[in-house]
Chain A
Amino acid sequence: MPSSGSPDIPDAFAAPSPLQDAQAPVPEAVQESAQGVAQDLPVLEAPADPGDGAGWGARLAAALAAGGAVLLCLMVALAALPALFGSGGESPFHWNWHPYEGQFGILPMCAGTLALTAFALALGWPLALGLACWLLCEEAKFLAPLVRFTAGLVRFMTTIPTVVYGFAAVFLLTPLMRGCFGGTGLGLATAGLVLTLLILPSMLLTLEAGLKPRLEALCPWGQALGFSRLQLLRRFVLPEAGRTLVAAAVLGFGRAAGDTLLPLMLAGNAPQAPEGFFASLRTLSAHMAMATANEVGGGAYNSLFAAGCLLLGATALASLALRRLMAGDTCASGKARAVQETPRP
């Protein structure tokens, strides 16, 4: 097809030339140069309409919100600066927390956070995955009410405040643990169990949101081939859904590492490296809550800011990783967009 020049009009219409009447007031000069002119004309750009830009209100609001985030990071980082780069003795990165001897090491708390988070994830992630699969795949009619109930319960669980979990567990789970395993009943396992419940729903909902569209896309004809939903999920969806699985784990990690009240109320808070499932430990977050509550001053503050900075860094990395994972999850996000744009039948 030629890119310029007059269009090829079939002979039948060219003969009486119906065009001539219509072209009344076009200047002759323009008509003369009609052939091939289109190529040389400038590309027409839309002029900026002032009404198409954001108003000052929206700009200010965005600046405020983004500025708040920047200020937060800046303040926490600046406050932690002397602690992070302090010389030898003042550095908080050692294993001894003896405030009265001037030793403010936060490594035990780092280990505590890691241990507790690992415990909760090791328990919570498989649980979330299993529950998500079950919710998506249960085909038995007699279990349908249970599926509905569980799905509702999971959504309800997102509404339970942390402090309520903690309060109930202090008076229910702690005596139970004390009775079964001795000791104070406060420790890694107690806090970890409740923390598992806390992070379970958000992980489960992430998994469900990621897996469901893929499974539904396979379902009608996959089932026609004789696969059950569980088989489809296991053989075709899960192997391809690595990103979703990791995203759920990262989300759970962020939640678990950042939570304060459960470790504070249930983990015992002894400033020592975690020694076992039933031994007391202190996490970074709980440490921060306690240090400020006691207002020690000096080196204690330094360790406090270092802890805050570490925690912020870890959760910020988790958020970034999460966005990357979600953005790469083209299937799920594409589906979400499609759902948003087209009305469902």
Chain B
Amino acid sequence: MNHATNHVMNQATNPARRQSICVEHLEVAFGGRRVLENVDFDARATGLSVIVGRSGSGKTTLLRALNRLNETLPGCRTRGRVRLDLGRGLEDVYPQSLGARVRPLSELRRLVGMVFQTPSVLPVSVAQNIAVPLKVVRGVPGSEIGDRVRQALEAVGLWQETADRLRLPAASLSGGQQQRLCLARALALEPAVLLLDEPTASLDVHSARAIEDLLTGLAERYPLVVVSHNPRQAAKLAQSLAVMAKGRMQARFERDIPDAGEIGRLLGEA
């Protein structure tokens, strides 16, 4: 799994060991209430990192700090350092000093794909769900869009199922299909990092398994960060595991991922 990466990379480093996400001393507060405290986290250029924790442990906030989505919520204050590899090696996501230049928010969020807990399809047709962001955010010319939509849908195995339904509202798809559509939409924007916030929490067992298989495949090409509260899923997917509790990083495992029972026990203790 450590030989195929298809994005630009530093030649000097071994892709498997090269870092793609590096979070140091991250602290996030909402209206004075601290949600994350001194969190360190990192992930390699490929592979699937799972963050587990009970609800309220701050795992989603950590995820949202990576693409600065926390800042859309009122009263958010962020301290610390977050660096991502968005194609030019590790770079700061937040300005570290006054006037330091960082990527514009919209570019950052385009390069950091995100999939939410509940399928967040846009209220347009299946094809438009992928086409509109491509056109608006990436400025892809109209002639290419059809192909790109198809590629994106094929990448998540949705083309077969929806080829004849591209013009129907995306909301008419099943929950699992919608979630895969969201994944396809994120992939179409050619992200450097993929974040998934409990991507299977609202799905039935079969749809969840399809998504899990898809993620394992994608992990060979992208750095994936998956938030989960399900020990079984964490044990099954994780190539590295982080356990969070009460806004702190409780434990990290890079190899010898514990089994589901062990993770469950960790969560229980935390």
Contacts and interface: CB of A to CB of B under 8 A. Distances in A.
B252 interface: yes
A38 B37 contact: yes
Contacts of A3: 34, 37
Interface in B144-170: none
A46 B251 contact: no
A44 B251 contact: no
Contact of A43 (B78, B104, B240): B78
Interface string A14-36: 00001101111110001000100
Contacts of B97: 42
Contact of B95 (A1, A18, A34, A47): A47
Contacts of A293: none
Interface string A282-297: 0000000000000000
Contacts of B54: none
A42 B79 contact: yes
Interface of B: 17, 19, 22, 24-27, 34, 37-38, 40, 42, 68, 71, 77-81, 94-98, 102, 104-106, 240, 246, 248-256, 266, 269
Task: In the A-B complex, list the 5 residue pairs whose CB atoms are closest, starting with the nearest.
Answer: A44-B94, A7-B248, A21-B254, A38-B25, A13-B251
B79 A41 contact: yes
Given A1-B246, A41-B81, A42-B79, A47 B25 contact: no
Contact of A22 (B25, B42, B105, B106): B42
A279 B269 CA distance: 86
Contacts of A30: 24
A51 interface: yes
Contacts of A25: 19, 22
A3 B25 CA distance: 12
A36 to B, nearest CB: 9
A37 interface: yes
Contacts of B68: 46
Secondary structure class of chain B's binding surface, majority of residues: strand
Nearest to B81: A41
A38 B79 contact: yes
A23 B22 CA distance: 9
Among A3, A22, A26, the most chain B Cβ lie within 10 Å of the Cβ of: A22
Contacts of B94: 44
A220 interface: no
Given A10-B269, A18-B254, A46 B19 contact: no
A223 B24 CA distance: 57
Among A1, A24, A39, the most chain B Cβ lie within 10 Å of the Cβ of: A24
Given A18-B251, A22-B42, A46-B68, 14 more contacts: A3-B34, A5-B38, A7-B249, A9-B251, A10-B250, A13-B250, A30-B24, A38-B38, A38-B80, A39-B79, A42-B96, A44-B94, A45-B95, A49-B105
A90 B96 CA distance: 70
Contacts of B255: 21
18 contacts: A1-B246, A3-B37, A7-B38, A10-B250, A18-B254, A22-B42, A22-B254, A23-B40, A26-B22, A26-B24, A26-B42, A34-B25, A37-B25, A38-B25, A38-B79, A41-B25, A42-B98, A52-B105
A150 interface: no
A231 interface: no
A287 to B, nearest CB: 51
A341 to B, nearest CB: 14
Contacts of A49: 104-106
Nearest to B265: A12
Nearest to A20: B254
Contacts of B250: 7, 9-10, 13
Nearest to B65: A44
A6 B251 CA distance: 12
A18 B253 contact: yes
A46 B24 contact: no
Contacts of B42: 22-24, 26
Given A22-B42, A41-B25, A46 B249 contact: no
B244 to A, nearest CB: 10
B38 to A, nearest CB: 5
Nearest to A25: B19
Contacts of A21: 254-255
